[in-house]
Structure 1
């Protein structure tokens, strides 16, 4: 799990590099996902299942703003990886400086807008009925920490583009561990309820920011913080935006999906049905961590070798990443098919003195979550090709196909399906939309990836 220098991305064996890059990325994503998972379990057990639904309403709003930083980070990281591969250190440094300035500017604007329209946004994303007040408490506090989240997401991708996955992993672990410790103190010990959950999250973002800031001041980083590179360079900003737009578009679609899903499910089954989706949403973030880890590890390898015109290594990295990710996805699939009821039970409170409403909500969630979870993850073994295929175009700087393939599953297929099928099949129509979209998107991505490999990765 040692860090590698940028040059080693072009010389070491692909399998060895992918393990070195993907393992720490997977561990970091695992810890981050465990944080979300355990955080939800704590909230469900110590506050109640409606509180899980409230967080589910807030997440797409705060994460969209945080995803602005991720978009800038991934877009800039693609430029940096290729610049380092081409031995253009000046462009790498200027790109990094522009990433910092752009992230601060745009996220502060978004936070101001988010706080201004809080009473409109929360109901729009499904924060209705008894969910609203808890969601508002959580939303306002967490939004103060979102600029730090955006800078963390940006910095993490830059660290990985330097070939320093171990430091990127630590940067993901710090807020996760910090959040869980603060959750226990603020919710369970000090009994601050939803406010405690929100402050735990916000403070954890700050802790991560301090670590990343330290990294870029230290000798570990090849990209030093330098004020002379902070002024906006519009040609670099355009390139960052075109590539980062892929990630931003993906998160925008995710936020739209949360909006639609929370509202559709609220109409079908009220707060309890939103809680079912909240649990499944946590598993979507957690269970696929090894696949996302392989995808993150693949990006700098493909980008560097493409920049260095080592096309055989690029091709090998694609096939190796798909193979690794597919094996891991199949293992995840097996676990989710066998233990869905046990997973659902982890999120539910068993405290004495629960109201009839809380007891009825728990019973509904426990009854409906297992079958829904099996449908949602039914096509998991094949998603590796779709994720790696879309990531490849992003790694080599081809923004348009990367954008279209990224939007393929959720935007072009999933959203139309959840708008149509529930009208005929009710809640079943919602759940079966997931595997149908996965299959269709994988077929499309496989076609275009094969075509691109045959056209460009020759010689």
Structure 2
């Protein structure tokens, strides 16, 4: 594997850099998405439907702790990219050390709390009746592995900030592939039931952590920290927290969205409507992976060149990323428009679901070709360390537009109003993001590069 120094982010052609960064990120996102689907199929077939319910009870807890690691990773990586671009190596090292310390302290605190109050937390998340014991088994074992997952999520973003996307991709693939293989061994071969499912997940997290640790200890990483870098620096912590909060807020809004959608659709159309949304939700996760990959690949390029005050390269990275992501979005749009019914048949043979889902799916993906501008625009402000606009633009689609729309439109248009809320929110948030991004480019990036 070719070793790429972070200085390549400031020298290589933007189009070439973006492909190098985006392709591995896209593959990693795709593999992780497939893992969620296949893992659910394995557990449901080999243990039973109650196992799926038990895992769903535990997922919000484990995902929140993992999201914390991701938030610290993304927040710190923005600082690291800009510090490396500006030649401030010591600040990059201090930031990385603080990321590790912060992730360890917060995750261990949360895991300890989670274990102490286990008998209260599981029922609160729906683990009642026959589900409780299965959920408790899974919860206890997986919770021990979650700090490793949080460290992996944090470290993976730092690897990408160094300009090493292939290593980042491998780090994302390891827990996904490892979990599926261990599921087969522990559940199907050794008949360990819920304990097997839990240990498969936990060991896969540990394997990923081992790989990430190896990367930073090897010559592949430029970030060689000492013990003094682990000591907290309040200014660094504030910057990590302000930028990382954007990611945490996004996760919170996504959870609220799912909660609202499930309740509204159940009232309008019962279980069938909820199933329609479940299928569309899966497609949103899978179909948009190349667009999300471009967004992930864009972050370190924009952050590094912004830190180096190479305004022309920053402008070019924005334009190129939007062009690539819009093109991929157009391909996704075409696929959904022409093959929506075929896609639905992969999930179910229920005639009602097959009849209702294609139309709903087409509405949900109607604005896909333009969402790249919204994603790249909000990602840009996060990459350059502007937490407030990053926070507001990230939440604009779901928080400011979609949630109010999904509460209002169904009152006038019924179930179709739910699906209309998606493209309307996409269009409005894209217009707002486009305005602020264009304003930033005109006011900040019009200056000539500093030599």
Match of 1:429 in 2: 417
Q: Report the 3-state secondary structure (helix = DSSP H, G, I; strand = E; otherwise coil) of the residue aligned with 2:401.
A: helix
Checking the alignment, whether the CA contact within 8 Å between 1:26 and 1:294 is kept in structure 2 is: yes
Give the superposition deviation at 1:172.
Answer: 0.6
- 1:414 pairs with 397, 402, 410, which one? 402
Measured at CA, do residues 2 and 23 of structure 1 come closer, stay the same or move farther in structure 2, by a change above 3 Å?
farther
Checking the alignment, whether the CA contact within 8 Å between 2:276 and 2:353 is kept in structure 1 is: yes
Q: Distance in 2 between matches of 1:125 and 1:260?
A: 16
Match of 1:83 in 2: 83
Measured at CA, do residues 143 and 295 of structure 1 come closer, stay the same or move farther in structure 2, by a change above 3 Å?
same
Measured at CA, do residues 129 and 379 of structure 1 come closer, stay the same or move farther in structure 2, by a change above 3 Å?
farther
Q: Distance in 1 between matches of 2:24 and 2:434?
A: 27
Q: Report the 3-state secondary structure (helix = DSSP H, G, I; strand = E; otherwise coil) of the residue aligned with 1:223.
A: coil
Match of 1:284 in 2: 284
Measured at CA, do residues 68 and 11 of structure 1 come closer, stay the same or move farther in structure 2, by a change above 3 Å?
same
Give the superposition deviation at 1:271.
Answer: 5.7
Is 2:313 the counterpart of 1:313? Answer: yes
Q: Distance in 2 between matches of 1:401 and 1:267?
A: 36
Q: Distance in 2 between matches of 1:68 and 1:81?
A: 20
Q: Distance in 2 between matches of 1:124 and 1:453?
A: 47
Match of 2:172 in 1: 172
> Superposed, which structure 2 residues align to 1:359-438 within 5 Å?
366=354, 368-438=356-426
Give the superposition deviation at 1:197.
Answer: 3.8
Measured at CA, do residues 68 and 20 of structure 1 come closer, stay the same or move farther in structure 2, by a change above 3 Å?
same
Q: Distance in 1 between matches of 2:77 and 2:99?
A: 9
List gaps (5 residues or longer) in structure 1. 351-361
Measured at CA, do residues 454 and 210 of structure 1 come closer, stay the same or move farther in structure 2, by a change above 3 Å?
same
Checking the alignment, whether the CA contact within 8 Å between 1:126 and 1:263 is kept in structure 2 is: no
Is 2:255 the counterpart of 1:255? Answer: yes
Q: Report the 3-state secondary structure (helix = DSSP H, G, I; strand = E; otherwise coil) of the residue aligned with 1:290.
A: helix
Measured at CA, do residues 393 and 175 of structure 1 come closer, stay the same or move farther in structure 2, by a change above 3 Å?
same
Checking the alignment, whether the CA contact within 8 Å between 1:56 and 1:278 is kept in structure 2 is: no
Measured at CA, do residues 150 and 20 of structure 1 come closer, stay the same or move farther in structure 2, by a change above 3 Å?
same
Q: Distance in 2 between matches of 1:345 and 1:302?
A: 41
Q: Distance in 2 between matches of 1:198 and 1:372?
A: 36
TM-score calculated relative to the size of structure 1: 0.87
> Superposed, which structure 2 residues align to 1:179-218 within 5 Å?
179-192=179-192, 195-218=195-218
Checking the alignment, whether the CA contact within 8 Å between 1:50 and 1:275 is kept in structure 2 is: no
Match of 1:236 in 2: 236
Match of 2:438 in 1: 450
Give the superposition deviation at 1:378.
Answer: 2.3
Measured at CA, do residues 127 and 426 of structure 1 come closer, stay the same or move farther in structure 2, by a change above 3 Å?
farther
List gaps (5 residues or longer) in structure 2. none
Checking the alignment, whether the CA contact within 8 Å between 2:3 and 2:220 is kept in structure 1 is: no
Measured at CA, do residues 145 and 368 of structure 1 come closer, stay the same or move farther in structure 2, by a change above 3 Å?
farther
CA RMSD across the alignment: 2.9
Measured at CA, do residues 119 and 389 of structure 1 come closer, stay the same or move farther in structure 2, by a change above 3 Å?
farther
Match of 2:336 in 1: 336
Match of 1:354 in 2: none
Measured at CA, do residues 338 and 201 of structure 1 come closer, stay the same or move farther in structure 2, by a change above 3 Å?
farther
Checking the alignment, whether the CA contact within 8 Å between 1:69 and 1:151 is kept in structure 2 is: yes
Measured at CA, do residues 151 and 377 of structure 1 come closer, stay the same or move farther in structure 2, by a change above 3 Å?
same
Checking the alignment, whether the CA contact within 8 Å between 2:107 and 2:147 is kept in structure 1 is: yes
Q: Distance in 2 between matches of 1:429 and 1:315?
A: 38
Checking the alignment, whether the CA contact within 8 Å between 1:137 and 1:194 is kept in structure 2 is: yes
Checking the alignment, whether the CA contact within 8 Å between 1:57 and 1:262 is kept in structure 2 is: no
Match of 1:358 in 2: none
Give the superposition deviation at 1:315.
Answer: 0.2
Give the superposition deviation at 1:66.
Answer: 0.8
Q: Distance in 2 between matches of 1:416 and 1:42?
A: 37
Checking the alignment, whether the CA contact within 8 Å between 1:253 and 1:410 is kept in structure 2 is: yes
Q: Distance in 2 between matches of 1:426 and 1:129?
A: 35
Q: Distance in 2 between matches of 1:305 and 1:386?
A: 21
Match of 1:357 in 2: none
Q: Report the 3-state secondary structure (helix = DSSP H, G, I; strand = E; otherwise coil) of the residue aligned with 1:421.
A: helix
Measured at CA, do residues 267 and 437 of structure 1 come closer, stay the same or move farther in structure 2, by a change above 3 Å?
same
Match of 1:38 in 2: 38
Checking the alignment, whether the CA contact within 8 Å between 1:41 and 1:346 is kept in structure 2 is: no
